[in-house]
Amino acid sequence: MSERILKVKGLEKKYQSKTVVYPIDFQLNSGEILALCGGNGAGKSTILKMIAGIVEPSQGNITIDGITWDKNRRDYARKIGYMPDHFSLDASLSVRELLNYYAQLKKVPKEETAGILDRVGLTDVQDEPFDSLSKGMRQRFMFAQAMLGSPQLLILDEPTNGLDPYWMKSFVEIIQELKKENQSIIFSTHQLDIAESAADQVIFLHEGQVLESGELDRLKQKYNHMSLQQMFSRLFFRA
């Protein structure tokens, strides 16, 4: 039986009188992949930031491997790897220097960085300054830093933005490999073909509310084997 890694219960976020995430519940076991799907303003990034401990929920509870952020921040943080949608880094450093910096912060041996750079295809540019990288390469770097230390839970915000088709396919292959290594992954995307290729569970969001959720196979049966794009279109126009 799989171990439950992530449990989200009644999670909600309000900014003053505006609700940006309505109460949501879901769970994720070890070795599972969950995709949060929806357009801009759906609440995907806010949910991931709450799980990562960056944004404080207005209501609800989040536990990772039985630990809550408010009770034990250090151990909670050690269990996650977070890839933000938007990021700002010291562009004067090389790719290798930046990844070594992240490794130092996470107390991960520097020897691990070479393998991760190779895994995301950045070995050839490791001595180049970060600001010389393309958008897709920067995305791959941020994915690499999230993987450092093999955290139990990877939290990835729009990880395929800016990737070319080859690296979109490679991203799916990498997270499927991580799944086999018993890591759990939650990622957000508006690219529903990526979610369909990678996810075990899917949550469709619109304006902070859940339109539909469940295991991918069950949703396929429920919606007569529609693609996720077809499902979302049907749900969106009903919302």
Both tokens of 54, joined, read 């960056």
Please check whether residues 120 and 24 belong to one and the same domain: no
Where does a domain end: 150, 169, 193?
150
Q: Calculate ∠ Cα 174-138-102, nearest 5°.
A: 80
Supply the pTM of this predicted model.
0.95
> Tell me: the pLDDT tens digits for 95-124?
999 999 999 999 999 889 999 999 999 999
Secondary structure (DSSP) of 187-234: EEES-HHHHHHH-SEEEEEETTEEEEEEEHHHHHHHTTT--HHHHHHH
Where does a domain end: 129, 150, 171?
150
Question: The sheet that has 184-189: what strands, in order across it?
Answer: 80-83, 153-157, 184-189, 33-37, 201-206, 209-215
pLDDT on residue 68:
94
Looking up residue 67, the CATH number of its domain turns out to be 3.40.50.300
pLDDT on residue 2:
67
Where does a domain end: 150, 169, 199?
150
pLDDT on residue 88:
76
Please check whether residues 131 and 190 belong to one and the same domain: no
Please check whether residues 68 and 156 belong to one and the same domain: yes
Please check whether residues 160 and 232 belong to one and the same domain: yes
Please check whether residues 157 and 69 belong to one and the same domain: yes
Owning domain of residue 67: 4-79+152-238
Please check whether residues 164 and 146 belong to one and the same domain: no
Please check whether residues 117 and 27 belong to one and the same domain: no
CB 75 within 8 A of CB 152: no
Helices 95-105 and 135-147 pack at an angle, to 10 degrees, of 30
Count up the domains in the chain and report the number. 2
pLDDT on residue 92:
81
pLDDT on residue 1:
47
How far is it, in rounded angstroms, from Cα 60 to Cα 12?
Answer: 6
The 10 Å Cβ neighbour count of residue 124 is 10
What is the full per-residue pLDDT of the chain (239 aa) written as tens digits?
A: 468 999 999 999 999 989 999 999 999 999 999 999 999 999 999 999 999 999 999 999 999 999 999 889 999 999 999 999 887 777 789 999 999 999 999 999 988 999 999 999 999 999 999 989 999 999 999 999 999 999 999 999 999 999 999 999 999 999 999 999 999 999 999 999 999 999 999 999 999 999 999 999 999 999 999 999 999 999 987 76
Ramachandran bin of 98, using left for φ above 0, alpha for ψ from -120 to 50, beta for the remaining angles: alpha
Please check whether residues 57 and 69 belong to one and the same domain: yes
Please check whether residues 131 and 212 belong to one and the same domain: no
pLDDT on residue 239:
60
Please check whether residues 34 and 54 belong to one and the same domain: yes
How far is it, in rounded angstroms, from Cα 78 to Cα 156?
Answer: 16
Please check whether residues 187 and 70 belong to one and the same domain: yes
SS3 content of the chain, % helix, strand, coil (to 5): 40, 30, 35
Please check whether residues 158 and 225 belong to one and the same domain: yes
